[in-house]
Structure 1
Amino acid sequence: MEKFQLTPFLDVNGIGSASGLVHYQDSLFIISDNSGFLYEYRLGAQDTLQHTLVSGPAQNIEKKRKPDLESITLKDNKLYIFGSGATENRNRHFIFDPRTQEVSEKSLENLYRKVKTMAGISDDDLNIEGALFYKDSLYLFQRGNGANSQNGIVAIDHYNEEEGCNDGMPIRFVPVSLPKIGHVEATFTDAVLVAGKIYFLAAAEDSVSTYEDGEVLGSLVGCMDAVSFEVDFTIQITNTIKFEGLTPFGQSETGIIFLLCEDNDTEALESRIYKLEIPKPAPGRD
């Protein structure tokens, strides 16, 4: 299971600090944690479109004001984009329809407040970095890189993506411990659903802050059960890059192929997309 192939796939100019991506039809939809745009890189045309999400968008918004868009996922041909919740400015949720180009915005303030109360996560430690829909549930992936190391999955059952949070929604937090890279435990940076399994990214930084970046120690990819959240395997894929987004990109005879984006934590407006192939799970394994 340790065999994998990680290679550069393409460089996209005009996008800095990429934090998530979705492959949909012939485009890569990319978010940046410094930006107020949703970027669409068209693979056939090899060009980039900008879709405005916030008023007065910029490609590099100052840290204290940025919406910190960290999670993007696809459901029913619409893209759902989530702020990290790490500060008051980061409690925003956007829904983008690629067919009509329409954007709607909702507040995550009530939902994130309930999550913090239920899971005992402090304001400083909340840091949502991945999201996916599984059946009628929304899974949010909490990156436990804060002082209290609360890494895990927020499962919100019977979630209505149009209505958002309501008082009757069951919310549970499932702590997930991941392997260390060096002396630091890896923590979630993204997740996707493939063939009923959750594939996730996790990174290790030498920092105990959800706000300030630290020295990058590496990233790993893993697979877990979508119901029990039991981890099937993890593979460390780098000791120098902080990967923050992954999206399925097909299969080979023996492997599953993903595209990954890196967050270089700089203001440079260039993002490198990587291609990762890992072995398929053994036949008959749940």
Structure 2
Amino acid sequence: MGNFTLELLFHIIGIGSASGLLYKDNNLLIIGDNSSFLYEYHLESKTLNQYPLLANPAVNIPKSEKPDFESLTQFQDTVYVLGSGSTPKRNAMIEFDTNQKKKIATNNLADLYAVMQSFASIKPEDFNLEGAVYDGENWYLFNRGNGASNQNTVFTIHAKKLSEEFSLVSNDYKLPKIKGIRSSFTDAVLVNNNLYFLSTVEDTPSTYADGAILGSFIGCINLETMKVDFTKKISSTQKFEGITVYKNTTDSIEFLLCEDKDTEELKTAIYKLTLTKK
């Protein structure tokens, strides 16, 4: 992969702590880790809709109570919103129908998350899923290694539904460091036969407490080998927590990114990251 450019495109008022996004039909679907809404931002009209994912939905939920929706993925007409699993209150997965514009199912992934932790020898306090990709046959779930053990792990779950029988594989990764602190997964997206991921560095040994933001990387994992093809540092000051494909041409890939500033301000910045192909 060649050079990159990063540019601020616009701000969206009404969304705070953005943690995942999807681009579809000139709209952006966005989640925030302290909210129980799925947001839909129309790029042409610049209007924002919100759809409740839980009973008694709220925009700013206290840290101890929030469902911590960190991962957003889509297959066909269904969007899947996953909680991080970092506390017992964060084990929900919501299925949302993009045609009906409503929630169609709520799933409790506590048992699955417990199996994943045991399989990969991840302690509950180091378990923190922040990226998800589903291709109709396989789920790729990204554990953010921002706990004390720094376990950046990609789980490959072969199953059409997470409630069915499945096969499970896990791969661990040593991601690049900034100032001696290892970066950790924050999101991923599938492009052809590659998983493009974001990783960020926070000066904290906890999956729960926020720390000083030291920068972010983009990287690529080849699905055939499950090896990292490359990583590139894209910022020294920002924590990017969401990535989606905007355009994919013969010369470049354009991604849209969302930034989580770890504040209660209801304002989200959307960036465009362009990677040139060699």
**Retained in 1: the 8 A contact 2:75–2:135?**
no
| Matching residue of 2:163 | 165
Partners of 2:193 and 2:224 within 8 A in 1:
no
Matched, 1:91 2:88: no
Q: In 2, are the aligned partners of 1:2 and 1:235 still within 8 Å (CA)? A: no
Contact 2:51–2:102, Cα closer than 8 Å, also in 1: no
Shift of 1:170: 1.6
Deviations along 1:140-189, one digit per CA (max 9) or x if unpaired, are: 000011011111101111x122xx234x4221221011111221111100
Q: Which amino acid aligns with 1:112?
A: Y
For the residue of structure 1 that corresponds to 2:213, the secondary structure is: strand
Determine the structure 1 residue equivalent to 2:120: 119
Pick from 246, 249, 253 the counterpart of residue 249 of structure 1: 246
Which residue is 2:228 aligned to?
Answer: 231
| TM-score of the two chains, using structure 1 as the length reference | 0.94
CA contact (8 A) 2:15 2:268 kept: yes
- 1:252 deviates by 4.9
1:203 correspondence with 2:203 = no
Distance 1:137 1:252, change over 3 A: closer
Matched residue type, 1:16: G
Q: Is 2:214 the partner of 1:217?
A: yes
Q: Which amino acid aligns with 1:275?
A: K
Structure-2-length-normalised TM-score: 0.97
For structure 2, list consecutive stretches of 5 or more residues without a partner in the other structure.
none
Considering only aligned residues, what root-mean-square deviation do their CA atoms show, in Å? 1.2
State the alpha-carbon separation in 2 of the partners of residues 121 and 195 from structure 1: 30
Q: Partner of 1:130 in structure 2?
A: 131
- Residue 65 of structure 2 corresponds to 65
1:180–1:186 Cα contact (<8 Å) kept: yes
The alpha carbon displacement at 1:78 in A equals: 1.4
Amino acid at match of 2:147: G
The structural deviation recorded for 1:226 is 1.3
One-letter amino acid matched to 2:242: G
Shift of 1:54: 0.8
- Aligned-partner residue type, residue 3 of structure 1: N
Residues 42-87 of structure 1, C-alpha deviations (whole Å, 9 max, x = no match): 1121100000001111110000110000000111121111000000
